[in-house]
Amino acid sequence: MKKIAYYPGCTLKTTGKAFEQSAFAVTGALGIQMREIERWNCCGTVFSLATDDTMHHIATVRNMIRVEEMGEREVLTLCSMCYNTLKRANEFIASDPVRLSELNDFMYKEELKYSGKVKVRHLLELLRDDVGWDALKAKVTNPLEGVKVASYYGCALVRPAGAGVDSLEDPTVMEDLVSSLGAEPVNWPSRLECCGSYHTIGHKELIFERTERIVGQALNAGADAIVLSCPLCEFNIGARQHEVAEHVYAFKQIPVLYFTQLMGLAMGIEPGDLGITDERVLAWLSEKVET
C-alpha cells in the first residue's frame, strides 16, 4: 500500500468534511494510505503576492517541517486553495537560500529546520501520474454511463503559470477522470472562470452573478452535474444555489459534487460513505446513477 503525507486544511474539517470523507474512501479503495500530518496549521488560503511580504509564507514553512518530521518528501492536498498556496509559497521559499534561512530563523522552537525539499501535490496529479487512468478504470464497478459531467477547475487548480495541476488554458485532468469513471465529460466555457472566492462574505451579489453564469453554462452544455475540487467553490456555486434561485428568475439548479464523490459512486461506494447528504442530490442520484 502506497503511503503519503496528507494536509487537510481548515475547511475540510468543517464545511468541506464530505470532500475529506470521500477522498479517504476512494484512496483507500485504490490502495493509497493518506496519513494526516500532526499539528498542521492553516496554509493562509491565499499566496501573498506582495514581494516584500515574506512573513505571510511562514505558515507554509511550519507545515513543511511537519511533513519532514514524518520522514516524507511529498505532501498531498485535496483543497485547490491549499494546493495553490502551499505549492507556490514552498517554491518561493525554496528557490532562494537566503529567504529559506530567514524563514527558518523564525522556526526556533522546531527541532528540524526546513530543507526546502518537500513537493506539494494534488490528488488529481496523484491519480493521473501515480495511479493512472487504466488502474482507476479497473476499480470502476458501477460505470456512470450516460451521465454528463461538467468539470469545474476555477482558479487555484490551474493558475497562474507553473502553479497548476495541468495546462494553464486547456487542462484535461478532470475530464480524463470523468471519462475513466464511464461518465461523459461536457465541453463548456466556464470551467476556468473564478467563482468569486472570498467575496462570498462581503459581496454576495458578485457570487450570485458568477453562480448564475457558471451553472447556466453547465446546463446549456447539457451537464447533469458539476464536479470540482475546492470547498470554497463548492460553497459558492453549490451550497448557495438556492439563494441564487430566490434572486434570479427561472434559475435552474444543478447537483455539485467533489470529484472524489463522483469517483466513489463509480467505484460502488455508498453515497452515505461519501458524505452525500443533500436530498436533491440523492434524488438526482436515484434517477440518474444506479448505486
Could you list the residues that contact other proteins (CB under 8 A)? 9-11, 14-16, 42, 44-46, 48-53, 56, 79, 81, 154-155, 159-161, 168-169, 192-194, 196-203, 205-206, 209-210, 231-232, 235
Residue 69 vs 193, nearer CB to other proteins? 193
Name which of 23, 182, 172, 2 is nearest 74 in CA terms.
2
- What's the Cα-to-Cα distance from 194 to each of 46, 49, 174, 191, 236, rounded to whole Å? 14, 18, 17, 9, 10
- Enter the C-alpha cell of residue 55: 512573513
Residue 138 vs 168, nearer CB to other proteins? 168
Minimum Å distance from CB 202 to other proteins?
A: 6
Give alpha helix (H) positions in 121-258.
123-125, 133-138, 173-180, 199-202, 204-220, 231-233, 241-247
Minimum Å distance from CB 246 to other proteins?
A: 14
Rounded Cα distance between 291 and 287, Å, is 10
Minimum Å distance from CB 160 to other proteins?
A: 4
Residue 48 vs 253, nearer CB to other proteins? 48
Minimum Å distance from CB 141 to other proteins?
A: 33
Residue 66 vs 240, nearer CB to other proteins? 240
Rounded Cα distance between 125 and 260, Å, is 13
